Amino acid sequence: MSCITLITDFGTCDHYVGVMKGVIHSIAPDVKVIDITHDIPAHNVLHAAFVLRQAWTWYPPDTVHLAVVDPGVGSRRKILVGRYGGQYVVAPDNGLISLVHHEVPVEDLRVVENARFCLPTISATFHGRDVMAPVAAHLAKGQNLRDFGPATDRLEVLQIEPCTTDAHLTITGTVLYVDRFGNLVTNIHKHSWVRTQTQRANAQVYVNGRCVGPIRSCYADVAAGEPLALIGSSDYLEISVNQGRAVDVLACGASATVEVK
């Protein structure tokens, strides 16, 4: 029996996460449920998509990732269940699986339509409990993916612009994600320098036009309170402040422009 991971914007002060776990354990009592995070900013699908993609690499085959950030709950948006690179995902069709869909081989993708795998009564405001949690539980118990509904090759995809490189080899990207430490995680991957032949050792990094210096090796390369750029654990360029919050010190967040010159 595989494990189920949870990613939501529900927080932990209400009953929502606990109720979803109750539904899962009622169907699959032996399954292990792992909380990745319930602190996605409310309704922030891009943030959730980034977290899902970062978590994906570190889980074993047949893991079921249940991701519920669902501002369109109760509408006609679909619910998807898919298998990518040997793992599964259950999520609303709102772009949440965009990064996984782009970067991990898709093996099967289905629209959840079979009511047999949902709760008997479905609330218009809590599909995480009534649809997605039971689907994830049945999947973890070994239910065949095709039983949940028809195959599809159509899904909502977030419009995430890739970083670009101009004739002067300046790499331009954007901040995708702000973590709880206030670090600004960009869409500039460490391999960008290899592709563009830019010399990383000589590069200077700018955030909304402000220079934060060269790419450092670790936070301690600058004094406490000073900003810096470095390659983070996700292998993307991050803008940070040693023992501080870049989002506050630099007064910018998601969508800020970052240049490597």
Which structural domains are found in the chain, ordered by start?
4-148 (3.40.50.10790), 164-260 (2.40.30.90)
Q: Is 98 helix (H, G, I), strand (E, B) or coil?
A: helix
CA dist 109 and 155 (Å) reads 9
198 close to 171: Cβ distance less than 8 angstroms: yes
The residue ranges of the chain whose pLDDT is under 70 are 194-201
For the chain, where are the E strands, in sequence order? 4-8, 33-37, 64-68, 79-84, 87-92, 106-111, 164-165, 171-178, 184-189, 205-207, 210-213, 215-216, 227-231, 236-241, 257-260
Residue 11's pLDDT is: 97
Which tokens in the block code for residue 147? 């039983």
Average pLDDT of the chain?
A: 94
8-22, pLDDT tens digit by residue? 999 999 999 999 999
pTM strictly above 0.85: yes
179 close to 253: Cβ distance less than 8 angstroms: no
